Amino acid sequence: MYQYFSLLYNKHKKPVLPIAIFAHNLKRNERNQFTVTFPFFHVLTFDFLKVELNKINWRDYIQSNNPVAAALLSKMGYSEKEKVQVKKEFLRMLVKMELNPAKAELINGFFETYLFLNKRQGGTTHGRD
């Protein structure tokens, strides 16, 4: 994170707001700080914002008109029992946003990559059952 921040800052000489988005499925607390220290000297403390998608309630974003929020629903915190409902809300969001077909396909492709339904849930298998 620090390296990306440094490269962007050095290239553009503009303020950079460092934000890490964690999209893994593990329930753990991610760090939001990078430090460089020696036993005799503290060199650097670099803090950055973090967003842990699996700790965010998907229901908080279903009223959004943001295509990124719609796509990221698939990585937010939901239970196995809620998967069908999450998919329905995602599709409702897509229709409401009235995106052009290419954008809608891109957003849907991302969503489908991370939240797939088995046949019993009403999805297609794509070899995942």
List the chain domain ranges.
2-52, 56-121
Listed residue (9, 34, 10, 7) closest to 20, CA to CA: 34
pLDDT score, position 129: 46
Using alpha carbons, list the distances in angstroms from residue 98 to 87, 101, 105: 17, 9, 12
User: Is the distance from CB of 70 to CB of 88 less than 8 angstroms?
Assistant: no
List, in sequence order, every beta strand (DSSP E) within 3-86: 19-22, 33-38, 41-47, 49-52
128 or 7: which carries more pLDDT confidence? 7
pLDDT digits (tens, 9 = 90+) for 78-118: 998 999 999 999 999 999 999 999 999 999 999 999 998 87
* pLDDT confidence bin for 27, thresholds 50/70/90: confident
Residues listed for the chain: 129
Structure-token pair, residue 100: 């052009």
